[in-house]
Structure 1
Amino acid sequence: MTSILIADDDALVRAGLRAILAAEVDLTVTGEVADGTEVLPAALRQRPDVVLMDVRMPRMDGIQATRLLLEKFDDPPKVLVVTTFANDEYVYQALQAGAAGFLLKRARPEQITEAVRVVARGDSLLFPAAVRRLAAAYGPPDGPAGSGLTAREAEVLTLMAEGLSNAEIAARMVLGVETVKSHVGSILAKLGVRDRTQAVVVAYRSGFVPL
């Protein structure tokens, strides 16, 4: 069972998300908060697997709330940003802060539930075209990245940037899933990032994967 905390300042949005998630036998909503300042206390009490995080909230936005979760938890919940606009600079900042992916508020119910499942199992929810646009619009170039990667790791990172899951990368490269996981772990360590999403952002910002 995947437990979920909803953080959004719009009561109607919270009610809609709760109704969608409650209809699934493998998902449960443990609580709702209306501002980023309430996210950390609620997460410490409830220990959710996933936080559905609005990026624009009045007193503390979802970016800072995401950073706090990553600072205060040894094993933080996965953060799935819920946004109105895919090209919002706040979305890009949230991905840099450690969010596992983002989802549009107008997404269909089945897209929302699948997104929660994707991030809960440790995959990132990335839309390659959208991340490229965000990196091009809001991300000043980083220094070179990827120079220390092996040829196999570089290929894995390129496929990660295409939005492929570990299982999909394994099938494309004719490798075992555990082997891919090992490569991903090595990539994260070499790039100095904590998750797949940040690795992909670095890949785009550095020019390792062309924008």
Structure 2
Amino acid sequence: MTRSTGSNRLQPGPRVAGNRTLGVAAVDPVPIFRDGLAAMVQRAPGLHWVGQAANQHAILQLSEQLRPDVVLLDSGLDPQGHLVRLLSTGDRNVVIVMLVRHAHRTPQYLAGLVEAGAHGIVPRAAEARRLSEAIHRTHADRHYVDPTLAALTVKPKRAQNGDSGMRVQMPLSRREYQVLQLLAEGLENAAIARMLFLSVETVRTHVKSILRKLSARDRTHAVTTAFRTGILVIQPDDPRTDTAPAPRR
């Protein structure tokens, strides 16, 4: 049986020959890309598909409800490493594999991912077999870097001086971040409470805390401040950003 909740598709995973398979979830803004990841996982030995999400707050909710073993995360949704930190601190057992877009293949960004808690780093355009292998190796070793990105993970001088290239700190808790995401989508307190299975009073408390931490006058100001400082990001939706630009002829 499959259960759908908003932008998530939730389903129980199978067990194969008495051995536990790894439950995989993914967050990516492109529906056809998520469907491709689901198909790849369902075909791969030793893996099963847990669910998918299109945005940050949905993957946090999915992670809380279904506890996947591995989360595949599009780097376009996490340019500052905030989501990696929230996922890793929310569940110390979850393994996070970053699917890195071409624009993010820099030493500073990759060093920042590792510092934030990412376990695996793989190109977003990786072939299915390479990604399947990367999932297994990352889960087994708690660390994996695709060979094509290995040269970029040599610690840059700026990172050695404590600058990873991700300067924006996350002042919000995991739940406050979810509430802020939903505020940015224009939801009122009652709707947020229903989505997150909270009381309306609890949501009000979170909103007040968000306003205080962001020094915001109201909800609109809080959302504006979050986008300006990089706590929230504009959702990427162009799959062409995954690949290197074509050479000029």
Q: TM-score of the superposition, structure 2-length normalised?
A: 0.50
Query: Which residue does the alignment assign to 2:89?
Result: 71
1:8-67 CA distance string (max 9 Å, x none): 11112211111111111311110001112222211111111100011212xx65721111
Query: Which residue does the alignment assign to 2:217?
Result: none
Mark the runs of 5 or more structure 1 residues left unpaired by the alignment. 143-211
Query: Which residue does the alignment assign to 2:37?
Result: 17
Pick the structure with greater CA Rg. 2
Matched residues in 2 for 1:110 and 1:129: separation? 22
Matched residues in 1 for 2:80 and 2:27: separation? 8
Check the 8 A contact 1:10/1:34 in 2, yes or no: yes
Matched residues in 1 for 2:157 and 2:128: separation? 29
Mark the runs of 5 or more structure 2 residues left unpaired by the alignment. 1-20, 163-249
Paired residue type of 1:102:
I
Shift of 1:95: 1.6
Query: Which residue does the alignment assign to 1:129?
Result: 151
Query: Which residue does the alignment assign to 1:152?
Result: none
Check the 8 A contact 1:36/1:61 in 2, yes or no: no
Q: 1:122 to 1:140 in 2, by over 3 A?
A: closer
Find the residue that maps to 2:73 and give its secondary structure. strand
1:104-159 CA distance string (max 9 Å, x none): 12211110000000112234112431201xx32752425xxxxxxxxxxxxxxxxx
* Equivalent of 2:122 in 79, 103, 108: 103
The question of 1:139 aligning with 2:159 is answered yes
* Equivalent of 2:48 in 12, 25, 28: 28
* Equivalent of 1:2 in 18, 22, 27: 22
Check the 8 A contact 1:6/1:51 in 2, yes or no: yes
Q: Which runs of 4+ in 1 moved over 6 A?
A: none
Matched residues in 1 for 2:22 and 2:80: separation? 21
Q: TM-score of the superposition, structure 1-length normalised?
A: 0.59
| % identical aligned pairs | 20
Alignment RMSD, CA only?
Answer: 2.3
